[in-house]
Amino acid sequence: MQSRWDIGEPEKPTINKDTEQLKSELLTLNMGPQHPATHGVLRIEIWTDSEVVAHAIPHLGYLHRCMEKHAENLDYRGVIPFVDRLDYLAAMNMEWTYVAAVEKMLGTEVPRRGELIRIMTAELQRIASHLMAFGTYALDLGAFTPFLYAFEEREKILRLFEEVSGARLLYNYIWIGGVWNDWTDEQLARVSAFCDTMEEEAKKYNELVSMNKIFVQRTANVGIFSLQDCFDYGATGPVLRGSGMKWDLRKNAPYSLYSEFDFDVPVGEAELGQVGDCWNRYYVRMKEVIQSIRIIRQVLEKLEPGSVMGKVPKVIKLPKGEVYMRHECPRGELGIHLVSEGDSKQPYRLKVKSPCFTHTSMLPRIAPGQMIADFVASVGSIDIVLGEVDR
């Protein structure tokens, strides 16, 4: 049994004192690539001693689409549809990060209404993404119904996005210089109505799933990342906040107009379980939904009529140089490193720093000593999207 990475013989887990005495060999199992609990095509090679995981090795690359290399042969506008496909559940945030990087090099001024609409779409997308995380996490743990409830609300957001951009998942909506289309008053009224129902729904979800005894037993005190682990691996987003660190780029390094907004950064407070476990990571997301609603309400108050698209040259050519732009996406900190050679229509290099990739690399850290069912809960709680891991 030789792995690709020579890590030596893993220690046998010592959970059960009865089996400790028995001589048994570790069994290699493949979880995935098409396992419903792995959220896409992630293959995890797990070495198990009966029900207990001794070691887990994530194998990546099943969804590799060569996006970074493709981007080197496309003009700056043409990259946006490819950036969409990184994290297909939060495409708006992905677009915005890339577009912000280009705008920073280009020195484009985005009109205030355009910037506010960007914030609103990004927060709506965050809600949609967290709803998906909530639904699929319940699905991982064997509850099918919450998935349908989450999709009912998510559908309203997707319908709004479809009306303004034309697509339901891969929008190509946030453009260099602004956004493609303006929102009508009727659509904004529906956003406002959505915020009201979403608050009610969030309470319902908490009653149905978050506080449910079975769910709590499955997730609380399971898969604990200490704060030191998070620093060592470079975790960001809800994983870091679930471990008790109050770090959010919207607050700590405000980009766009986020400094004008009043919102809290939820952290894992161990209402149940302990800080850094699956339940706290999950519950941070539920609390973030409420904060996103607060931001959207403030956007709706601040919106004034105006242009949504700034002045951009017809053919975009960036000056020589490079830029690193990072935004707070639903799954963590997305970084876009863009290098331009100058006087070229295409980027010289586009490197994506993906939060999910970091979080996937943390799986071997929590796997040893866990039951297989708990490992499934741990994989679900870090909420990875493989499109972003493999790129």
Partner 1 sequence: MSTAVEQNSSFKNYFSGLFNGISTTLKGMWITFRYVWAVKPVSIEYPEVREVLPERARMRLFNDSQNCISCTQCAMACPVDCIYIASEKLPEGSEIKKTSNGQAIRLKLTQFTIDTALCCYCGLCTTVCPTECLTHSHDYEFSQYTIDTMKYDYLAPDVKAWRDRIVKV
Q: Which of 156, 40, 44 is nearest to 88 (CA)?
A: 40
Report the residue from 162, 199, 322, 341 that binds partner 1 according to the rule CB under 8 A: 162
Min dist. Cβ of residue 179 to partner 1 (A): 13
Q: How far apart are CA 159 and CA 133, in angstroms?
A: 19
Contact criterion met (CB below 8 Å) for 41 and 16:
no
Q: Is 152 in the site for partner 1 (CB under 8 A)?
A: yes
Contact criterion met (CB below 8 Å) for 222 and 277:
yes
Min dist. Cβ of residue 188 to partner 1 (A): 16
Q: Which residues are within 8 A (CB) of 130 and not within 5 positions of it... i.e. 6 or more apart?
A: 285, 286, 288, 289, 292, 330
Q: Is 361 in the site for partner 1 (CB under 8 A)?
A: no
Catalogue the E-assigned strands of the chain.
Answer: 27-31, 43-49, 52-59, 174-175, 178-179, 321-329, 332-340, 349-353
Run of H or E residues at 150: helix 145-165
Q: Is 188 in the site for partner 1 (CB under 8 A)?
A: no
Min dist. Cβ of residue 70 to partner 1 (A): 8
Q: Is 274 in the site for partner 1 (CB under 8 A)?
A: yes
Answer whether the bond into residue 33 is a cis peptide, omega within 30°: yes
CA atoms within 13 A on the CB side of 259: 5
Between residues 133 and 224, which has the closer beta carbon with respect to partner 1? Answer: 224
Q: How far apart are CA 157 and CA 220, in angstroms?
A: 30
Binding residues for partner 1, rule CB under 8 A, total 37
Contact criterion met (CB below 8 Å) for 53 and 368:
yes
Report the residue from 14, 24, 145, 197 that binds partner 1 according to the rule CB under 8 A: 145
Which one of 75-83, 124-132, 367-375, 382-390 is the stretch in contact with partner 1 (CB under 8 A)? 75-83
Q: Which amino acid is at 66?
A: C
Report the residue from 52, 79, 119, 174 that binds partner 1 according to the rule CB under 8 A: 79
Min dist. Cβ of residue 116 to partner 1 (A): 21
Q: Is 167 in the site for partner 1 (CB under 8 A)?
A: yes
Between residues 64 and 203, which has the closer beta carbon with respect to partner 1? Answer: 203
Which one of 32-40, 47-55, 242-250, 270-278 is the stretch in contact with partner 1 (CB under 8 A)? 270-278
Min dist. Cβ of residue 156 to partner 1 (A): 10
Contact criterion met (CB below 8 Å) for 64 and 332:
no
Between residues 181 and 361, which has the closer beta carbon with respect to partner 1? Answer: 181
Contact criterion met (CB below 8 Å) for 277 and 219:
yes
Q: How far apart are CA 198 and CA 156, in angstroms?
A: 10
Q: Find the helix packing angle between 185-205 and 145-165, rounded to 10°.
A: 170
Between residues 57 and 220, which has the closer beta carbon with respect to partner 1? Answer: 220
Min dist. Cβ of residue 73 to partner 1 (A): 9
Min dist. Cβ of residue 204 to partner 1 (A): 6
Between residues 3 and 181, which has the closer beta carbon with respect to partner 1? Answer: 181
Q: Is 165 in the site for partner 1 (CB under 8 A)?
A: yes
Tokens of 198: 């979403």
Between residues 192 and 217, which has the closer beta carbon with respect to partner 1? Answer: 217
Residues 365-384 that bind partner 1 (CB under 8 A): none
∠ Cα 294 300 302 (to 5°): 105
Between residues 180 and 233, which has the closer beta carbon with respect to partner 1? Answer: 180
Report the residue from 66, 189, 193, 214 that binds partner 1 according to the rule CB under 8 A: 214
Residues that bind partner 1 (CB under 8 A): 74-75, 77-82, 84, 145, 152, 155, 159, 162-167, 170, 172, 180-181, 204, 207-209, 211-214, 217, 220-221, 270, 273-274
